[in-house]
Chain A
Amino acid sequence: MSIESAQMTHAGGIAGHIHPEPQGFVRRYVFSIDHKIIGIQYIITAFVFFMLSGLLAETIRTQLLNANGGFVSPETYNEVYSVHGSAMVWLVVIPLLTGGFGNLIFPLQIGARDVAFPWLNMLSFWIFPVAGLMLFSSFLMGAPTAGWTEYPPVSLQGSAGTSMWAAAIFLVGVSSTLTGINFVVTLVKMRAPGMTFTRMPLFCWGQFATAPLLMIATTALAAALAALFMERVFGVPFYDPTKGGSPVLWQHMFWFYSHPAVYIMILPAFGIISEVLPTFARKPIFGYKLIAFSSMAIALAGFMVWAHHMFTSGLAPYLQLPFMILTFAIGIPTGIKIFSWTATLWGGKIHLTSAMLFAIGFIALFTCGGITGIFLAAVPYDLDVHGTYFVVAHFHYVLVGGSLMGVFAGMYYWFPKMSGRLLNETLGKIHFWLFFIGFNGTFLPMHWLGIEGMPRWVATYDPQFEFWNRFASVSSYVMGIGILVFFVNVLWSIRAGKKSGPNPWNGRTLEWMIPSPPHYYNFKNIPTVYGLPYDFSHPLPYTGLEEELTDAPPALAAGAH
């Protein structure tokens, strides 16, 4: 390569700077600083925890097959649902969507060589499995029994595993905070030339709205957890009312984090859906700016609605009204997204691949979950169904029907980018239908179970609810089989799946312009961006990508060696 051409492409700096390729298995695949490897590490680890918490979920459903339980003891049952909830939120959905898909995809989509702080990224990852093992090891010393929310005073009285739980979640929080900082800096500072904010793919916007939540909200949870830990271990009173503390203080601090946390769990999934829909409808996304800015609006408003979880906790009536209205208001930006996605499908040339099925399933199920969310935000209705199965139905529709469907859509869509091979489409469709039917069979009946008054958190229940509980349990096994099909598909396809080539879906975002899997340096030349990726009838809005799929070596910084 001539010196002139090198100088023309780069004036040095990070874009022109390529680290030496790491050598050896440990540096490449274990303690890797490559964002793509770290993303895959997150995804694998989170799916292992997903299997474990899925087993816990099936334990719950098996217990509820009979009105008088009998599968596990009531104490064990409490431990099982508490760890199931905590693990699904902190060890499965959040790591999959932020550390997993976030790491794997968005640096490629903005045309960067890596995240801003690769070593910090490695640290974030390695905290996560350690914390996960701590959480599951709490079973050995008596796991927490107060649900994933661990309200005092019950959590103050729980056995030693509750302290372990607090420490584990604190550590996951540290990992999340570091990831948030890393992602914000990367998205602000490391976009390719010409990639303005309003040219970023919508998945990047999803991460851009999520990262500040990871950074700010998680720290508030850390404080609440630290106080709980200090109270349990050193007897420092914060929450114990007999020593002047307040259990409601925990609820404020916990929900100040955990309401934004539900957006941490859904905004990246919104991003995935916004990539999958236009690709398989072969049509520009409808309302790009509306989708992007409504994510930011949701993230911001998410900090002002936490007390809608506390309508039955003695919140003053003059505070209930504003929290109710603000929560209703979040339905507006969310509705805008649903509208935009539906309009994207309208008149499109729809390819019903597995990824697309999950994306369309997402729209349907998330809309149901969103609507019951509006129900629950209404104070009078919430007073009626708070603590019943209606709430369980609601949040499983948004977290499983929403976030997890988004994860599966992302897996089918980006698996080729991770591995260079396609997931099997037939198995994918079997997975989708088993999962979709099983999911609705499990959680739809919970709506009316809740309205009729079946309480959450109980190991036995009134015999009048037995039929629908059995229906839900059997459906949950169908859903479980669907997930097994998915795991079989992944394990089979990674060895024997069809070779995908760089761009199996005719995608238009930058990650599809480079080989699958990409080189460790991602791009040979950092491309220049001239427009949005979604204009399907136009030529691609990039230059500088000519050499990506050839054997040419990567370009170098001027003055390099």
Chain B
Amino acid sequence: MAVASIAHGSAHGDGADQLYVETRELRLQGFLLFLVSDCVLFSSFIFAYLYLRNSGQGWPPPGIKRLDVAFAAWNSVLLFGSGATMHYALENWKHGNFMKYMWMLIFTIILGAGFLGGQAYEYTHLIVAEHVSWWGSGIFGASFFTLTGMHGFHVFVGVCYLTVLLLQSAAGVYTGQKYFGITAGTLYWHFVDVIWVVLFSIFYLI
């Protein structure tokens, strides 16, 4: 057999499945490590926020009102709810309930977009009514808008990704065995959820 014939092809058979299983494991591990380093990115900014917050000028700094917990709490419910629907989406996929999976995915996208809308409303309110800005309100504005903005960006990326996932699923890209894209999306979405738990606690509760 000549070297030149060593190539990909559709006729892989069992060998191809073994290959898929192994590359899926690699991708899963690589993706988890990506989430770890992303988590370090958030942790570093959270450290910076807590460090500045405790640098002795009181919190919130003079002239700035406390953040509105009630609104943010309702908004959080949207995001946590989307975590639940995403979980059921993956479960339904694994059990072969295609339509339920699609509906759960659609709910997740709607709830995620709703959370972003809430965040946009909150930002507008802060900037217009309370005159708090990213660069003009000292370390309060800097840390709040940077961290929640980073998180919001992650949610935005997630909503886009899940929309692509929805279209791909409708087009039949994924099968009963080969659905790494869905697993990765679910992991990412839960990661974004967990980060929000931390951010909500340190900005609104303490």
Contacts and interface: CB of A to CB of B under 8 A. Distances in A.
A238 B55 contact: no
A260 to B, nearest CB: 11
Given A249-B51, A553-B3, A236 B40 contact: no
Given A181-B34, A230-B146, A237-B135, A246 B15 contact: no
Interface stretch (A15-23, A268-276, A461-469): A15-23
Contacts of B128: none
A219 B47 CA distance: 13
Nearest to A184: B33
Interface stretch (A6-14, A327-335, A376-384): A6-14
A261 to B, nearest CB: 14
Contact of A556 (B1, B29, B51): B1
B45 A223 contact: yes
B11 interface: yes
Interface string B41-82: 101110110011001010001000000000000000000000
Place the interface of chain A in its size category.
35 or more
Given A11-B15, A19-B8, A244-B61, A553 B1 contact: yes
Nearest to A238: B142
A18 B8 CA distance: 8
A220 B43 CA distance: 8
A314 interface: no
Nearest to A557: B15
B139 interface: yes
A219 B44 contact: yes
B205 interface: no
B67 to A, nearest CB: 17
Interface residues of B, number: 49
A177 B37 contact: yes
Interface in B2-38: 2-3, 5-9, 11-19, 21-23, 25-26, 29-30, 33-34, 36-38
Nearest to B51: A249
Nearest to A257: B44
Interface of B: 1-3, 5-9, 11-19, 21-23, 25-26, 29-30, 33-34, 36-38, 40-41, 43-45, 47-48, 51-52, 55, 57, 61, 134-135, 138-139, 141-142, 145-146
Given A220-B40, A244-B52, 14 more contacts: A11-B18, A181-B33, A184-B33, A189-B29, A215-B33, A215-B37, A223-B41, A223-B44, A227-B48, A236-B142, A238-B48, A244-B55, A245-B142, A560-B9
